[in-house]
């Protein structure tokens, strides 16, 4: 004779799906700002040069790339151009 546990299936919470447990593609990110991730494959020498320049300027590669995009005519909020690491 098997005993049934009363109401166990009724009180157990539904498990989140993988999609529900991952952050949205656009929205709150680790840095606290809003944005969408972008992954690029660039020549290794260029990546190295960007990192060296970022270190020399005490900023991030992201900030350097955003400044370059502004020079190319893209409209970017000036608040986005700063180093987000220092905002905290």
- Which region holds residue 79: left if phi is over 0, alpha if psi is between -120 and 50, else beta? alpha
- pTM greater than 0.75: no
CB 34 within 8 A of CB 28: yes
3-state SS, residue 35? strand
Return the SS3 of 25.
coil
Chain segment 43-56, per-residue pLDDT in tens: 999 999 999 999 99
What are the residue ranges in the chain where pLDDT is below 50?
26-30
The count of other CB atoms within 10 Å of the CB of residue 4 is 7
SS3 28: strand
φ/ψ of residue 31, rounded to 5 = -70, -5
């Amino acid at each position: 004779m098997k005993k049934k546990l009363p109401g166990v299936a009724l009180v157990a919470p539904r498990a989140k799906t993988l999609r529900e447990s991952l952050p949205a593609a656009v929205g709150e990110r680790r840095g606290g700002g809003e944005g969408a991730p972008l992954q690029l494959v660039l020549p290794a020498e260029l990546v190295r040069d960007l990192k060296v320049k970022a270190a020399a300027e005490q900023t991030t590669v992201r900030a350097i790339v955003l400044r370059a995009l502004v020079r190319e005519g893209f409209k970017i909020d000036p608040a986005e151009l700063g180093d987000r690491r220092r905002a905290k």
